[in-house]
Amino acid sequence: MTTTATIDTLRVPDALLHYEVRGRGPLVVLVGAPMDARSFGPLADLLAVDHTVLTTDPRGINRSKVDDPDRDSTPEMRADDLARLITHLDAGPATVLGSSGGAVSVLALVQAHPELVRTAIPHEPPLDQLVDDRAQLLAWTDEMIATYLSGDTMGAWRKFMLIANLHMPDEVIEHMFGGERDPQDIADEHYQYTHMLKPTVEWVPDFDALRSASTRIVIGIGEDSGEQLCVRTSTALAAGLGIEPTWFPGGHIGFADDPDRFATRLREVLQEG
């Protein structure tokens, strides 16, 4: 099922945000970083049957243009963007599901504006500072970025997979990131490596603020994510909040790989709240 999305832009400090709205009903926000709105389209269509669904490109990515492309995109800035979008729609408080870097944005949103978020579902946030080997991970991240800036894109992605504990055959990496590529994909990749990645993985949540928030917080982990880094960071986050993780179908991007199963599980989680 495909629903018609209303596409618009919202001017926020230092950026013009691209956003899409589908359906009618309680507001659900689906957000990634660096993933843009396109990755959430199939899930948004499924939820739009009985929800208003907001998707957006995070600042600096694809259709969300920034005034200063040399400025970092921090979780706090992306959280402020989400707060302004939710307020603009005047349909909150919202359920907000964030994937990966978008999950970090969601946590920052709850810390700053808990009144706007009824239920927050950070799905596998890469919070490297929460695990014991944080110093090694952050050093590897610096090496990865330096490799990318040297012009060795393939080498950088190999390091990315190693840090994340993602096992992908070399030929698959070459197919995804080698050869002829879309100029926008290259621009988004550059922005991710140079201005989004470090502020995201180095971010430290305020556990006191999150525990005291009126927002219901659900820490999502993919059933097929195994021993990937984001499982370790998500487990540490859940322990810090004194709650158990909630399992979702698929892996790190289960919402995109199998949106039907993910939507079914998401509806169950929302009903439990």
pLDDT tens by residue, 126-152: 999 999 999 999 999 999 999 999 999
Average pLDDT (23-36) is 97
Token reading at 177: 């990131």
Token digits for 142? 């610096």
Task: Give percent of the chain with pLDDT exceeding 70.
Answer: 100
Residue 195 has pLDDT above 70, yes or no: yes
- Which of 7-21, 142-156, 176-190, 207-221 is predicted least confidently? 176-190
Q: What is the pLDDT of residue 124?
A: 98
Question: Per the omega criterion (within 30 degrees of 0), is the bond before 34 cis?
Answer: yes
- Look at residue 1 in the predicted model and tell me its pLDDT: 65
Contact call for residues 249 and 259 (beta carbons, < 8 A): no
- For the cut 90, the answer to whether the pLDDT of residue 178 exceeds it is no
Mean pLDDT of 35-56: 97
Q: Which helix (H) or strand (E) holds 221?
A: strand 220-222
Give the C-alpha separation, 24 to 147, whole Å: 46
What single letter denotes the amino acid at residue 156? A
Q: Is the pLDDT of residue 118 over 80?
A: yes
Q: How far apart are CA 207 and CA 150, in angstroms?
A: 37
pTM, rounded to two decimals: 0.96
Strand partners, 10: 17
Average of pLDDT values for 215-226?
97
The mean per-residue pLDDT over the stretch 16-34 comes to 97
**Mean pLDDT across the stretch 92-110?**
97
